Amino acid sequence: MALLNPRALRWKIAALTATACCAVAAVIGVLVHQAISERGDRTGEQRVAARLTAAEREYTRTGTAPVDIEIRTPRQLDAPLAQALAAKGPSDLYVTWYDQKPPNWYWLWAAMPVEGDRVLVARTDMSTEVRSLQLLDRSIIKAVLAALTVIVPLAALATEPMNRRLRHGSRTARAIADGDLDARIGPRGRARDEITEMSAAMDVMAETLQRKLENERRFTADVAHELRTPLMGLSTAAELLPQDDEAAELVRDRASALNGLVEDLLEISRLDAGAERARTDAVPLGELVADVVRRTGTRTLVTAGDARVVETDPRRVERIVVNLVTNAHRHGAVPVEVTVTGTRIVVRDHGPGFPATLLDEGPQRFRTGTSARGRGHGLGLTIALGQAGVLGARLTFANAPGAGATATLDLAPVRPETSPQQDPAAAETGVCESGSTVPRR
C-alpha cells in the first residue's frame, strides 16, 4: 500500500525530480526555439535582401524590375509595411514586415525605396521555417514526456533503500512505544547520511529511556520491598492495640492503607518488568463477575444476562473488576452498575465522570485528575490496565451520556455456548452488598 500512496516520500521525490527535469527541458526548449526562430528570420531576411539588391540594380539600369518584385507607391503598401518604411533610418536600405495569416501562411515582406516615388516590394514564404520550428517544439515535448516515463519510475525505485531504512526506523519506534524497550534500529547499509544520524540518535534515546525506566522500576520495587518488613511489624503492633480505642482504630486503618499501597506498588513493578504471565482457564464470565462483585462488599448492581464462557485468567479478571468497582464507588457516585454481555464487562457509575486528561492519556499512577473524582493514588486503574494487557484484553474508559464514567473490558471468548455448569438463574440481575446477595427479581 505504501507503493500506491501518493503522499509517500518516494513519489514526492519522483515529483520533485520530474519538476526539475521539466524546468530544465523548458529552459533548453525555449533557448533552442529562440535560436532556431532567429536563424529562420535571418535566413528569410537574407533571401529578400538579396532579391531586393538585385532588383534595385536592375531597376536603376533598365527602369524595370524582375517579375517576382513589385513596384508600388507608399500609398499602395500595407499599413504595417508603410509605417515601417516611414520609420526607416537613413542607414537602413530596406524594411521588413512579418505577416502571419491563417491557416499556416507565413510571409516575410521587404520594401526598399528607389528613385522617385517608387518602392520595390519583395516577399518570401516562411511557412517551411515555421513548420520546422513547430515540429522541433513537438519533438522536444515528446522527448521530455518519454524521458519522464523513464525518470519518474527510476527516481521512485532509487529511493527504495532510503524508504526501507525509514520504514524500519518507524517500525522500531512503534515497537518501543508498544513496550519492546530492547528494540533498536541498528546500522543498516553503508550509507552515512542524515538517516544514519537519526537512527543512531534514536538508538541512543531508546537506550537512555530504557535505562531510566529500569532504574525507576528497580527503585519502585526496592522501595516497596524495603517497606514491607516495617509495615508488617507496624500492622502486627497495631493489632495489639485496644480494639475499642479510636486512636488505635485510626492507626490500624492507616497501616492497612499503607500496606495496600505497597502491595500496589509491587504489583505495578511486576507489570512494568513484564514478569506477569496469565494462567488461563475456561470460566463462566457471568458467575465469575457476580461472585467477585459480591465479595467486594459494595452495593453494586450486576447484570449478566448474556454472559459467555471465556478462556482467561480468573484471578486477573477479579483484580480488574475489583479495582474498577472500587474506583467507581470511591470516586464516582451510586448507583454503580456492572453489566456482562458476551465477553464484555462494563462498569458504570453516576458521578462526575472521568477527567479529560485520563480519557486522552490513559490512567497515570499517582494522578487522579480533577478533584471532582475524589482523592487517591491513581494506582487502581493503572493496575487494571496493566492486568488487561497481560490478559491480551482491551480496557477502555469513557464518560456516559448525561453523567457518570464507564470502564469497558473486552475479553476473547472460548466458545459461544453457555457453560453447562452455569445456572440459568445466574443470568438474572442482583445487587451485591456487604458480602450477601440480595434476592434476584
Structure-block grid coordinates of residue 144: 521530455
d(CA 337, CA 341): 13
Q: Are 351 and 399 in contact (CB under 8 A)?
A: no
| 331 touches 351 (CB < 8 A) | yes
Instruction: Provide the pLDDT confidence category of residue 368 given band limits of 50, 70 and 90.
Output: low
Residue 335: is the preceding peptide bond cis (ω within 30°)? yes
148-160 tens-digit pLDDT: 999 888 888 888 8
- Distance spanning both ends of the chain, measured CA to CA: 55
- In this model, does residue 379 exceed pLDDT 90? no
pLDDT of residue 30: 94
Question: What pLDDT, on the 0 to 100 scale, is given for residue 337?
Answer: 92
How would residue 420 be classed by pLDDT, with cut points 50, 70 and 90? Answer: very low
Mean pLDDT across the chain, nearest whole number?
81
Selected residue with higher pLDDT from 415 and 244: 244
Alpha carbon distance 85, 97 (integer Å) = 10
Region 157-178: mean pLDDT is 87
**Which amino acid is located at 210 in the chain?**
Q
pLDDT in tens, 13-28: 888 889 999 999 999 9
Distance CA 319, CA 209 (A): 30
**How confident is the model over 185-211, as pLDDT tens digits?**
887 666 677 888 888 899 999 999 888
The DSSP bridge partners found for residue 111 are 95, 121
Distance of alpha carbon 308 from alpha carbon 40, whole angstroms: 90
Residues paired with 120 in a beta bridge: 71, 112
The three-point CA angle 321-312-383 to 5° equals 40
Rounded alpha-carbon distances, angstroms, from residue 380 to 283, 328, 374:
24, 11, 13
**Percent of the chain surpassing pLDDT 70:** 85
Closest-CA residue to 382 (of 397, 401, 400): 397
The alpha carbon of residue 34 and the mean position of all alpha carbons in its chain are separated, in whole angstroms, by 47
Q: Is the pLDDT of residue 139 over 90?
A: yes
> Which residues, other chains included, contact 205 with Cβ-Cβ below 8 Å and sequence gap of 6+?
none
Task: Report pLDDT for 251.
Answer: 81
Q: In this structure, are residues 281 and 314 in contact, taking their beta carbons and an 8 Å threshold?
A: yes
Of the listed ranges 43-57, 342-356, 414-428, the one predicted with least confidence: 414-428
Note if the pTM is more than 0.75: no
Please check the confidence at residue 305 and state whether its pLDDT lies above 80: no
| Mean pLDDT, rounded, for 346-362 | 86
- Higher local confidence (pLDDT), 52 or 440: 52
Pairing verdict, β 300-307 and 336-342: parallel
Amino acid at 261: L
75-84, 381-390, 426-435 — most confident range: 75-84
> Are 115 and 61 contacting, i.e. CB atoms less than 8 angstroms apart?
no
pLDDT: which is higher, 98 or 421: 98
Do you know the residue count of the chain? 441
